[in-house]
Amino acid sequence: MDERQLRILRELGDLGSVSAVAEALHVTPSAISQQLRLLQLSIPIPLTERAGRRVVLTDAGQALAAAAVKVETALAEARNTVTDFAGQPDGEVSVAAFHSAASAFFPVLLRGLAGPGLPRLALGDEDVAQDRFPALTRHYDLVIAHRLDHGPPWPRGVTSTTLLREPLDVALPAGHPLASKAPLTPGDVADQPWITVHDGFPLMSTIEAIASVANRRPEIVHRINDFAVAAEVVAAGGGLALMPRWTARPHPDVVLRPLGGVHARRHIDVLHRPERTARRAVRTVLAELHRAAARIQVRDH
């Protein structure tokens, strides 16, 4: 077996089909199948099996795919030993983030890592559904993602650390009758018109929890993912919205009120493939992200 074959096996476990692996690695499906056959020749028990039209991993294949993560990590550490030993932490580090996290963290990174001898940043905004964040770790060194406090964990194929556990508040126009009450309850807000994110994005679970506790289905009138745009619509009287307390920009005509009775908090996590932090530059950027998150919490308190 070789490194490329193990990489293909790992990707097959993550992506679930030969065609998806071929697309991710920019080769043909037949080339992927050939490498899997070559790998199988060196292993005495089956690594893959048919599931309908798809090729999937057996239990043995899953075990070897998990070991492949360790192999890639060890090889990445070996390749970067010389760079680390020579003290050259100024390589390029790519960072992706969803919009509100990008607004909060990107300027801090740029200011904190400006100057000679520091990592060169390549930043990208990625507003994707929650289940698509792990796939971004194929293309970025670090991915800032979010999930609800009670949401499913990230897959084992990526490493995650939490930057913030951020409360989600109800955003109302400054003159709204409920603006004088805190905290609000699901019963207070369930009958109001709502501005929500699109399906598949984390905040929708909190809207569903409000409906469950209040035993009423909120009226969703607008679907807007960008919090800055949502705040403008709230200010104009378009409805209520859930807003993150720390990372969304304040609006002069919008007030935030805490919501009781449901889990209204999100994790802002940074995801990466384990081998990425073998590079000192990546570790430097990761440490700066944690310092920035600590300053955000201190400022709020």
The per-residue pLDDT for range 147-170, each reduced to its tens digit, is: 987 778 899 889 999 999 999 999
Residue 48, amino acid: T
Q: Which residues pair with 241 in a beta bridge?
A: 171, 195
What's residue 60's pLDDT? 92
Cα separation, 247 vs 40, whole angstroms: 49
Contact 126, 97 (CB under 8 A): yes
- Distance, in Å, from the CA atom of 3 to the CA atom of 69, rounded to the nearest integer, reads 10
Percent of the chain with pLDDT over 90: 55
**Domains identified in the chain and CATH numbers:** 3-84 (1.10.10.10), 88-162+267-300 (3.40.190.10), 165-265 (3.40.190.10)
Taking all residues of the chain, what is their mean pLDDT, rounded to a whole number?
A: 89
- In this prediction, residue 86 has a pLDDT band, given cuts at 50, 70 and 90, of very low
The better pLDDT of the pair 242, 199 is held by 242
Give the pLDDT band (50/70/90) at residue 22: very high
* pTM of this structure: 0.75
Contact between 71 and 5 (Cβ < 8 Å): no
Q: Cα(37)–Cα(57) distance, rounded to whole angstroms?
A: 13
- The helix-helix angle for 18-25 and 3-15 (nearest 10°) equals 120
